[in-house]
Amino acid sequence: MTTHKDIATPSRTKEIMEKYGFSVKKSLGQNFIVDPNILSNIVAASDIDKNTNVIEVGPGIGALTEHLARASKEVIAFEIDNRLLPVLADTLSPYDNVSIVHSDVLKVNLQQALPEMIDLDEPLVVVANLPYYITTPIIMHFLETPVRIDGLTIMMQKEVAERITAAPGSKAYGSLSIAIQYHMKAEIAFIVPKTVFIPQPNVDSAIIKLTRRATPSVTVKNEKSFFSLVRSAFVQRRKTLWNNLLIRYGKEDSTREKLIKALEVAGIDPKRRGETLSLEEFARLSDAIDEIVLEKD
């Protein structure tokens, strides 16, 4: 494939935006990267090759998309902003392995939509520069789809990346950390300074790499109960685990007695805060609550 002049330079980005009279919409979280090295590093971190199919969300003017097209088998890019469709048709015209889908990815049934474009038995990853305001719903959408996503390499607000990769006992650790670490290994690949974007955001970004685990990080009897317990443990972070459990399961004497027993069985001190519990401890407590507290539910 012929090498083309990178989209992701300040001059080319401005030239494309001027050509189409395009101005970014703050409401869509549009920030365009103007440093090709950053894009090369994102592609390198994602471990894709010519056997890998890639989903991208929010391709913008195609800066990351073209790097993905050069490195992967097929790229399916979901773009919600119809003003960008003619821009992408132009900037990505050299690449015949890119499909632009004009749609909100959160409203797409991936199990129905993707087989028309790619073979779901082949490796499939998500690589994207996500809009800050909707990062978490998009990640959860990919984790919860029946389609097997092998990994996600995504740019997001540094603070959110720190929450996703946080360990127990840290301020950043919470239900989001657990929801993602349950399914995926999570690590920050590198930090991206705000200076490499047009327009410049207020905060730095991070590239996070999520790799699908062969099996969930902990075994639980009931996933729904497990995640319900996790959410309730962080409802009021400053409260003890015990107080949050009472808010979630009820304050009746019989319920209190069952909760005390469940905590004993799980070997967890009720005075601890939710943020100190590991995934293993949450799993033990979830199973104990399921058996002792929710037995008749």
Omega into 199 within 30° of 0, i.e. cis? yes
| Structure token pair of residue 113 | 């939509």
Which whole-number Å values give the CA distances from 226 to 54, 166, 258, 279, 286, in the listed order? 31, 19, 17, 10, 5
Query: How many Å apart are CA 157 and CA 38, to the nearest integer?
Result: 15
Chain-centroid distance of CA 260 in Å reads 36
- The answer to whether residues 153 and 208 touch, using CB atoms and an 8 Å cutoff, is yes
User: Strands 151-157, 124-129: parallel, antiparallel or unpaired by DSSP?
Assistant: parallel
Query: How many Å apart are CA 282 and CA 260, to the nearest integer?
Result: 15
- Report whether 275 belongs to an annotated binding site: no
- Report whether 243 belongs to an annotated binding site: no
- Report whether 31 belongs to an annotated binding site: yes
- Report whether 104 belongs to an annotated binding site: yes
Nearest to 241 by CA among 282, 280, 283: 282
- Report whether 297 belongs to an annotated binding site: no
Q: How many helices (H) and strands (E) does the chain have?
A: 12, 9
- Report whether 174 belongs to an annotated binding site: no
Say how many residues make up the chain: 297
List the binding residues for S-adenosyl-L-methionine.
31, 33, 58, 79, 104, 129
List the binding residues.
31, 33, 58, 79, 104, 129
